[in-house]
């Protein structure tokens, strides 16, 4: 009897009337099929908002109703399945509420309408197939389009008056999420304006969802700033495309403006080449803070363990991450390969060696402080100390203030570290190099103050050096001293030169024999020259390539010399032009 066309028409009109009365809006249903009295199949179901725009359309909408509730003039909806669905969630200009708020208010009220029936929702199961969601928020210049092949959720309980939903589990398969921003919001405080910083603007009331587990598989996310110029050479904050997103969580609570939970796995790939193989940890996200404790992050070549806290003015600050997001992190023993993040700063692509890192970091990427840092790389290289860095990710214009308690390396490790930086071959002669002291300045313009220990001896420096990675153009000025240094083995002229100990002030350019051009004032305590050791030497002169021109004074028991002239050791037979008094 229920399947007769005349009965179906009456039932359709009856259900349409009940829903229209309960929801205070226009509801249309093309066809109703009733199965076993408690299952309704609604076809071509349409619900309009109060502006007569589409709030919900479903080609098929299956509703399971608690059977006994009908005799009490109640329609208690227990299971809901929607196929080929469109949902339009909108907050237009001048509106404080979204277009669905009136429905939540009506359902939460629990009043009986003129039809004599009361519609209640007490879902146990929700399923959506081939759904599209449009989420438009004019107040925040946000236009969100979501394509959802499959959503499946089992529900423990729900309360529409709060509103609050407690899920047993949730599953989303292969969604595509496209976020379009008309205008970039401000990312720093401005007392003259009031910025909406809520996490997700689902409701003007407190909104809550919990789930015991959640999975999202094979998702795609696109974030686009409308009319912005695109940069295809590296990561572009105006166009972010994340592919192959997979998320698996344990318990998660989304209450008010905060999300907390246990992340078991997250993986994704960005179109610029950045990839996360896995991310896990206990997390908390608010409009102003993101925390992950016991974090494990795996990138293709990197493994990072730490506790991290990010603070910011609002979520759009992530679009200017380097300047507007502050980081507090304690890095446990981790391996970081800078090539994994090279799409954020192309200069990092030239690094060849992974870094083993631990320490405490505070500040933003562009301006941070590192305490108790310990970094190792290569076969023996070690860096320990405290460091302040300003200017990243622009490596060449980054200012570094580093207090080294230990810095140890060698020519091979340093040359392998960065293929753009190749040290002169003469540095090989130093063997293992260690430094303790201060490094202040840029990577190619710095002051080194401290002690440099090598296999050939020790140097104590207070030098300003520039262009050190272009030896022919390097410049230097300051003081340099040594209690012992084998100048002959360092220079390769060990048949002529030997040990030296000295105190000096020098300035000049060039670090190779053909580019050397500078001046020196020095007191030499000991100096081996041409198989003879000289003592107590005063020097005031200039070097040009392999020539020295100046004055040398020696006042020693066996030698009393005042030398003015030039040494030229370019040729096999060395030339000396001297005036001796």
Mean pLDDT in residue range 275-288: 93
Distance of alpha carbon 446 from alpha carbon 401, whole angstroms: 9
Q: What is the DSSP letter of 225?
A: E
Scanning 80-196, the segments in alpha helix (DSSP H) are: 101-109
| Residue 22 C-beta-side C-alpha neighbours within 13 Å | 25
Contact 357, 375 (CB under 8 A): yes
Beta carbons of 286 and 279 less than 8 angstroms apart: no
Q: Alpha-carbon distance 338 to 361, whole Å?
A: 17
Residue 45's Cα: distance from chain center in Å?
A: 45
Query: C-alpha distances in angstroms, 289 versus 51, 53, 210, 276, 317?
Result: 37, 36, 20, 21, 11
Instruction: Give the pLDDT confidence of 157-212 residue by residue, as tens digits.
Output: 888 777 788 999 999 999 999 988 776 555 565 554 444 444 444 344 567 899 99
Please state, in angstroms and rounded to a whole number, the distance separating the CA atoms of residues 388 and 362.
10
Q: Are 129 and 84 in contact (CB under 8 A)?
A: yes
Tens of pLDDT along 471-497?
A: 788 899 999 999 999 989 988 888 888
At 5-54, the pLDDT tens digits run 555 566 667 667 766 776 677 888 887 777 666 777 888 988 888 888 89
Instruction: Please give the Cα distance from 24 to 119 (Å, whole number).
Output: 12
Residue 204 is predicted with a pLDDT of 44
The whole-number average pLDDT for the span 327-347 is 89
What single string gives the DSSP state of each residue in 162-223?
TTEEEEEEEEEES-EEEEEESSPPP-S--TTS-----S--S-SS--EEEES-EEEEEEEEEE
Q: What is the average per-residue pLDDT within 444-461?
A: 93
Q: In terms of Cα–Cα distance, which of 410, 499, 426, 495 is closest to 457?
A: 499
Residues counted in the chain: 581
Model confidence at 1, pLDDT cuts 50, 70, 90, reads very low
What is the SS3 string spanning 255-267? ECCEEEEEEEEEE
Query: Which residues, in sequence order, are CB contacts of 208 under 8 Å at separation 6+?
Result: 162, 163, 164, 165, 253, 254, 255, 256
Q: What is the mean pLDDT of the chain?
A: 83
Q: Could you give the C-alpha distances from 87 to 17, 43, 275, in angstroms and in order?
A: 21, 15, 32
Query: Tokens in use for 272?
Result: 């610029």
Task: Name the CA dihedral angle for 384, 386, 390, 396, rounded to a multiple of 10 degrees.
Answer: -20
HEC profile for 405-432?
EEEEECHHHHHHHECCCCCCHHHHHHCC
> What does the pLDDT average to over 314-339?
87
Helices (H), 381-486: 411-417
Give the mean model confidence (pLDDT) for residues 313-319.
79
Encode pLDDT of 387-445 as tens digits.
Answer: 999 988 787 888 999 999 999 999 999 888 888 777 878 889 999 999 999 989 998 89
How far apart are alpha carbons 482 and 297 in whole angstroms? Answer: 46
Six-digit token pair at 192?
Answer: 């003259």
Residue 232, classified by CB atoms within 10 Å of its CB into exposed (0-12), middle (13-18) or buried (19+), is exposed
Q: Rounded CA gap, 306 and 291, in Å?
A: 11
The pLDDT score that the predictor gives to residue 74 is 53
pLDDT at residue number 15:
67
Contact at 8 Å (CB) between 342 and 349?
Answer: yes
Torsion sign over Cα 182, 184, 186, 192: negative
DSSP 8-state class, residue 351: B
Would you state the structure tokens that stand for residue 434, as one six-digit string? Answer: 């260690």
């Amino acid at each position: 009897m229920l399947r007769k066309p005349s009965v179906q028409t009456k039932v359709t009109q009856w259900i349409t009337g009940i829903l229209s009365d309960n929801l205070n809006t226009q509801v249309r249903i093309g066809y109703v099929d009733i199965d076993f009295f408690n299952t309704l199949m609604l076809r071509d179901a349409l619900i309009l908002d109060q502006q007569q725009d589409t709030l919900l359309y479903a080609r098929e909408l299956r509703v399971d109703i608690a059977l006994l509730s009908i005799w009490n003039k109640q329609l208690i909806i227990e299971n809901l399945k929607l196929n080929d669905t469109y949902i339009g969630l909108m907050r237009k200009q001048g509106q404080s509420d979204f277009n669905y708020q009136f429905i939540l208010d009506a359902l939460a009220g629990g009043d009986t309408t003129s039809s004599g029936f009361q519609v209640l929702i007490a879902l146990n199961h929700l399923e959506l197939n081939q759904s599209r969601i449009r989420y438009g928020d004019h107040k925040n210049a946000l236009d969100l389009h979501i394509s959802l092949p499959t959503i499946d959720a089992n529900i423990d309980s729900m309360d529409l008056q709060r509103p609050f939903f407690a899920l047993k589990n949730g599953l989303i398969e292969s969604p595509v999420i496209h976020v379009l921003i008309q205008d970039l919001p401000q990312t720093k405080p401005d007392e003259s304006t009031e910025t909406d910083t809520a996490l997700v603007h689902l409701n003007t009331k407190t909104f809550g969802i919990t789930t015991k587990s959640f999975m999202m598989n094979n998702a795609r996310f696109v974030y686009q700033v409308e009319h912005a110029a695109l940069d295809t050479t590296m990561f572009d904050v105006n166009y972010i495309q994340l592919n192959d997103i997979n998320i698996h969580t344990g318990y998660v609570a989304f209450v008010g403006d905060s999300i907390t939970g246990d992340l078991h796995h997250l993986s994704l790939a960005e179109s610029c080449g950045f990839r996360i193989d896995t991310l896990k940890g206990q997390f908390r996200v608010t409009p102003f803070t993101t925390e992950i404790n016991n974090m494990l992050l795996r990138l293709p070549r990197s493994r990072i363990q730490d506790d991290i806290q990010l603070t910011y003015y609002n979520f759009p600050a992530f679009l200017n991450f380097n300047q507007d997001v502050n980081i507090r992190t304690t890095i446990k023993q981790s391996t970081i390969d800078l090539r994994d993040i090279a799409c954020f700063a192309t200069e990092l692509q030239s690094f060849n060696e992974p870094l083993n890192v631990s320490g405490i970091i505070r500040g933003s990427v562009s301006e941070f402080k590192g305490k108790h840092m310990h970094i190792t790389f290569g076969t023996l290289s070690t860096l320990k100390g405290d460091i302040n860095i300003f200017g990243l990710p622009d490596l060449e214009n980054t200012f570094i203030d580093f207090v080294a308690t230990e810095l140890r390396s060698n020519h091979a490790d340093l040359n392998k570290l960065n293929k753009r930086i190749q040290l002169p071959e003469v540095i090989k002669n130093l063997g293992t190099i260690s430094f303790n002291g201060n490094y202040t300045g840029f990577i190619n313009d710095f002051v080194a103050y401290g002690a440099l220990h090598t296999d050939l001896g020790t140097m104590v420096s207070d030098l300003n050096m520039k262009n050190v990675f272009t030896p022919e153009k390097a410049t230097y000025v300051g003081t340099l001293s040594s209690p012992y240094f084998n100048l002959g083995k360092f220079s390769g002229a060990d048949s002529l030169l030997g040990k030296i100990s000295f105190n000096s002030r020098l300035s000049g350019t060039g670090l190779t024999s053909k580019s050397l051009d500078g001046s020196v004032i020095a007191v030499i305590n000991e100096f081996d020259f041409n198989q003879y050791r000289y003592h107590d030497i005063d020097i005031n002169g200039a070097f040009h390539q392999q020539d020295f021109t100046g004055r040398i004074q020696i006042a020693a028991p066996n030698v009393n010399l005042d030398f003015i002239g030039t040494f030229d050791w370019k040729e096999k037979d060395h030339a000396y032009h001297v005036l001796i008094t």
